[in-house]
Amino acid sequence: MPPTNIDANTASNTSGINDSPTTAAISTAHPEPSATNSFIFYGMAGTVGLLTLASLPFLVVPMLKGNALPYMNIPLAKYKNLFDKSLPSHLQRRRPGAPPPRFIDLGSGFGESLVSAAQRGYVATGVELNPTLYLLSIWNVWRHRLWWPFDARVRLVCGDMWKQDLRFGEQDVILMFGVQSLMARLTAKVQAEAKNDALVVLYRFQLTLPASSSSSSPAEVAGERVGAKGKGGTEGSNTKAVIELLEVSEEEFSVYRVHRPIA
């Protein structure tokens, strides 16, 4: 029996439904992620990885080598005020023809302090534990036309400041941005080795000094028996190195002077 018009219409509608885009989309597998999305994902992952690797010398290396503080930079504007205001007001007036003052930064980082000191007539020494920062400091001093190791105005040392020959007893200005746990050890080193009238400058931290019991003045002093060999003292000497707090500047620098009586 031939199909009726109703059967033909039903078959036509059924065929149209099966061939519709909606049905085709349902039966098709999920499309693959686009190449652009993959590129963005792997690019972000690679960037995070590179930043992590780049941060290791500044965060992990200091801790592994016994320094509890990751690298922190002192702003250049504060260096300018230190060298142009604070230090000139406390440095002893130098005789005509005297050698230039000596400056040392214990933890010199990128070398900004060395550049600031050398540009103002100091002979500047920087000691840096982190080899990455040490290499960057070489680039920085070169960038300012201080051609270390051929330029006598700067000296760069890579290593532990407690173990290096830093000519500590010859320095006129000693700068450090350390941690509180190092202050007692630094105080002992200053008392044992720093020369008379040397200035010690600390950023944000202060030396471990007892308050003076004989005076109500704001100055703090410290006197200890010097028992180390060095240019500032002799082994077994009874002389006392007295450390006086001169000022705490608005830039958070604490400035001290070393007084070493002549035996």
Look up residue 111 and give its two tokens: 């070398």
Q: Specify the pLDDT at position 222.
A: 45
Q: How far is Cα of residue 206 from the mean position of the Cα atoms in its chain?
A: 17
Q: What is the domain class of 76-259 according to CATH?
A: alpha beta
Sequence ranges of the domains in the chain: 1-64, 76-259
Residue 88 φ then ψ, to 5°: -60, -30
Q: Where are the alpha helices (DSSP H) in the chain?
A: 5-18, 21-27, 35-64, 76-81, 87-90, 112-119, 131-143, 180-193
Paired with 240 in beta bridges are 225
Question: What is the mean pLDDT of each successive set of 10 residues along the chain, which is 263 residues long?
Answer: 52 50 49 64 58 49 50 82 93 86 94 95 95 94 95 95 90 89 90 94 87 41 40 46 92 93 70
Q: Specify the pLDDT at position 44.
A: 65
Paired with 256 in beta bridges are 200, 245
Q: Specify the pLDDT at position 236.
A: 36
Q: Specify the pLDDT at position 235.
A: 37
Q: Specify the pLDDT at position 190.
A: 93
Angle formed at CA 160 by CA 158 and CA 161, multiple of 5 degrees? 100
Neighbours of 4 (CB within 10 A): 9
Against a cut of 0.85, is the pTM above it? Answer: no
Whether the Cβ atoms of residue 244 and residue 219 lie closer than 8 Å to each other: yes
Q: Computed from CA positions of residues 21, 24, 30, 35, in that sequence, does the dihedral angle turn out positive or negative? A: negative
Cis bond before residue 96 (omega within 30° of 0): no
Q: Specify the pLDDT at position 218.
A: 38
Q: Specify the pLDDT at position 158.
A: 94
- Beta pairing, strands 223-225 & 199-203: unpaired
**How buried is residue 233: exposed, middle or buried, by Cβ count under 10 Å (0-12/13-18/19+)?**
buried
Q: Specify the pLDDT at position 68.
A: 47
Cα distances from 131 to residues 65, 99, 114, 134, 255, in angstroms, run 12, 31, 17, 5, 29
